[in-house]
Amino acid sequence: MERRRLLQAGAGFTLASVAGQFLFPAEASAEAADRAGASGTSDPCSGPTIAMYGVASLTAAIVGMTVLGDKAYVVARGQNPPVLGEIDLPSKTLTRAVRLNRGEGGWATTVSGGHVYAGTYPFPDIYRFDPATGQVALIGTVGPSGGFVWCLTTAPDGTVYAGTSPRGEVWEYKPSTGTLRNLGVAFAGQQYVRAIAADDRFVYAGTLPSGYVVAYDRTTGVKTNITPTPYGGAAAIIARDGRVIAALTKYLVDMAPDGSDAKVIATPAGERLLDAMTMTADGTLYCVGRPTGTVYRRDGDTLVPVAAPTPGDEHRALVPLDATTLLGAAGSGRLWWLNLESKQSEIVELIDAGLSGPDPVQSMAYGSRGVVHVGGHFSVTTHRTTTRGTRSSRRTSVAGEPKQLQVVGSRLYAAMYPSTELLELDPDRGRVRSLGFIDHDQQRPTDMAHVRDQDLLLVASAPGVGLLKGALTSLDRRRRTITVYKDVITDQSVMSLALDDRRGRRIAYLAGDTWGGGSVPPTRPSATIAAFDLTRREVLWEVTPIEGYASLQHVAVSDGVLYGVYKRLAGAWFAMDLATRTVLQTGRLPSYGEISVHNGHVFASVFGGSVYRLGPDLTEAQFMLGGLGDGWYNPPQLAWERYSPHAWGVAGRDLARLRLDPRCPAPGQARRPLPDTRVLEGLLAN
């Protein structure tokens, strides 16, 4: 097998390293010399194991916004701990920024009694900020670690209410007494209270994944489901003038507080949901659609488009500042002022205003000659690096989170969450082109690969919350057509895909997850691997590598062996012979992440900041590198340089070039011996 791999490498190769089969073709000699030999020595283990290149991705993304007087208060996303930013509305400038105690962001904000309240994640804390003193106080924690405070509202008497996940509860805080009280689960089986509103008598909770609206009597605590029928997950609720108006995925439902007299308005074509709503003093309702970012005005039973100040953006809040001005907060980190009469708008970029900070990395791809692309919240940053540690960077805005990146030629492709849009980027010019949407109830792209001989981009995906059926999507780059194979692994998300690297094979191996989009009971006991024939476009076979393990995270194929790592049971890994479909080896990593194959070696990069080698021919995982920290938002990836034993990743939240040469010892370990080069020379000669 080793001899065949070397012979397939072809003539005209320059031997740059021996053990580990790292070969440098002649056309890449310039990069090889610059990147692998920059230390000025032939020793492959010289030079830094980790070379740092500064912040990988900057963000000013936000998840919450509220207004108090002439100030807007926004909560940053991804910055740890979260930043609460104060924006002076008349001057449109950032006037103050304070840190909360812990967490990564805060979707929920409200105002009561001259104070600003914020609810955070992944620690579901509620904080109170006093603008007069600049002090932040922790009110309490309203759920387990890993939970969210999704929404906050203030009743007319100043009582603050919160909606949470994963237990789907409503909490009450009375500033007058300092009392924090759990009002209980909104609706059995609903893990999210995603929207909330209150009037004099009731607090109304909107749930996910099904869109129930539940009214809690604020005095007795008695709960009543007032939804005529669950129309879909809740996104926003308003309670005013004796009416309750709920944005439930594809519908706007306007009803009496007891659920009677319901009027149902369908969202405009092209919108998946209405993600922010408000009502002006004269009772006119305005809302924003996703994914277009269009502002709509309700006119009877119709939603009339007004303007799109930030097209394609998600929205966190809408606030009427006066009779003719709306203030909008876009998730990408933009505030906009819309004049309702002229339809003209003004935008402030919070990253320019000074709210930016290091972003947890979503995805990464390597181009060539030191070009590294990094996906962050609402952006892709292209770094041009040198071995001297210098770089230049260009940030391109995109609508959402680029969960997967893939370089093909001079173009970069991104698969977006939550829209499932597929984008083609020209990083040199900062241009972005939409190739269409996966749709088909999908929400989270999980993996991407390029099939060279067919020029196809394959995308694996998971469905939305409350759904089980994932998909494999094929994008034909030449024809610009998208084909979606939904439920290709029955009742499972498609978490990963691996292409067979043997000649003549056109098979994609798909890894499943029985949990689907979450918040729904699995129908299958174990995650499976399915072999999908790319020529016949059908599943050839399906197998369960390890019984009882519910969620695969990632797979890769090398020399007829499929390697996989599980999310549930976290860190369990296996190697399976594809010819016999028998498991050859199993083991356990400290956590889960992504697997990659490079120059005949199989690597796993996992949460916790470690890299291991899984094969070939290992009986247990071999530790390669640690101490990288937790700078990844998604499972950690390795973006390999094509012709060297170096990969790009992150150390903390800094871009880092990692030496992952199997010949070189991990920190604290003895050096591995180098084999005789005559062995390789003899193979090439024969």
Pairing of strands 538-543, 551-558: unpaired
The answer to whether the CB of 313 falls within 8 A of the CB of 399 is yes
pLDDT of residue 621: 97
Identify the residue whose tokens are 């004269």: 282
pLDDT of residue 265: 97
User: What SS3 state is found at 49?
Assistant: coil
Give the confidence band of 667 by pLDDT, cuts at 50, 70, 90. low
Phi and psi for 607 in degrees, rounded to 5?
A: -55, 145
pLDDT of residue 386: 87
pLDDT of residue 290: 94
User: What SS3 state is found at 36?
Assistant: helix
pLDDT of residue 41: 55
pLDDT higher than 80, residue 669: no
Counting residues of the chain whose pLDDT is more than 70, the rounded percentage is 90
Query: Which residues are CB-neighbours of 465 under 8 A, at least 6 positions away?
Result: 192, 208, 209, 233, 443, 517, 518, 519, 520
pLDDT of residue 643: 86
Phi and psi for 178 in degrees, rounded to 5?
A: 75, 20
- Which H/E stretch holds residue 116? strand 115-121
Q: How far is CA 237 from CA 151, 245, 366, in A?
A: 10, 6, 44
Lowest mean pLDDT among 151-165, 341-355, 653-667: 653-667
pLDDT of residue 430: 85
pLDDT higher than 50, residue 145: yes
Give the confidence band of 44 by pLDDT, cuts at 50, 70, 90. confident
Counting residues of the chain whose pLDDT is more than 90, the rounded percentage is 85
467-500 pLDDT per residue, tens:
999 999 999 999 999 999 999 999 999 999 999 8
pLDDT higher than 60, residue 39: no
More confident residue, 227 or 686: 227
pLDDT of residue 504: 67
pLDDT higher than 70, residue 40: no
288-347 pLDDT per residue, tens:
999 999 999 999 999 999 999 999 999 999 999 999 999 999 999 999 999 999 999 999
pLDDT of residue 38: 44
Give the confidence band of 12 by pLDDT, cuts at 50, 70, 90. very low
Q: What is the mean pLDDT of residues 146-171?
A: 98
Q: How far is CA 331 from CA 245, 398, 441, in A?
A: 23, 11, 22
Q: Evaluate if pTM is beyond 0.85.
A: yes
pLDDT higher than 90, residue 115: yes
| Euclidean distance between the first and the last CA atom of the chain, given in angstroms as a whole number | 14
pLDDT higher than 70, residue 75: yes
437-473 pLDDT per residue, tens:
999 999 999 999 999 989 999 999 999 999 999 999 9
pLDDT of residue 641: 96
pLDDT higher than 90, residue 273: yes
173-206 pLDDT per residue, tens:
999 999 999 999 999 999 999 999 999 999 999 9
- R_g (Cα) of the chain, nearest Å: 27
Give the confidence band of 505 by pLDDT, cuts at 50, 70, 90. confident
Give the confidence band of 665 by pLDDT, cuts at 50, 70, 90. confident
Task: Determine how many CB atoms are found less than 10 A away from the CB of residue 261.
Answer: 10
pLDDT of residue 387: 78
Q: Across the chain, what does the average pLDDT equal?
A: 91
The answer to whether the CB of 401 falls within 8 A of the CB of 378 is yes
Pairing of strands 572-577, 538-543: unpaired
Q: What is the mean pLDDT of residues 272-283?
A: 96
pLDDT of residue 682: 29
pLDDT higher than 60, residue 8: no
Lowest mean pLDDT among 15-19, 271-275, 586-590: 15-19
214-254 pLDDT per residue, tens:
999 999 999 999 998 989 999 999 999 999 999 999 999 99
pLDDT higher than 70, residue 280: yes
Beta-sheet strand order (sheet of 263-266) = 234-240, 243-248, 251-255, 263-266
The answer to whether the CB of 635 falls within 8 A of the CB of 650 is no
Q: What is the mean pLDDT of residues 610-623?
A: 95
Cα–Cα distance for residue pair 375/506, rounded to 1 Å: 29
pLDDT higher than 90, residue 685: no
pLDDT higher than 90, residue 84: yes
pLDDT of residue 678: 28
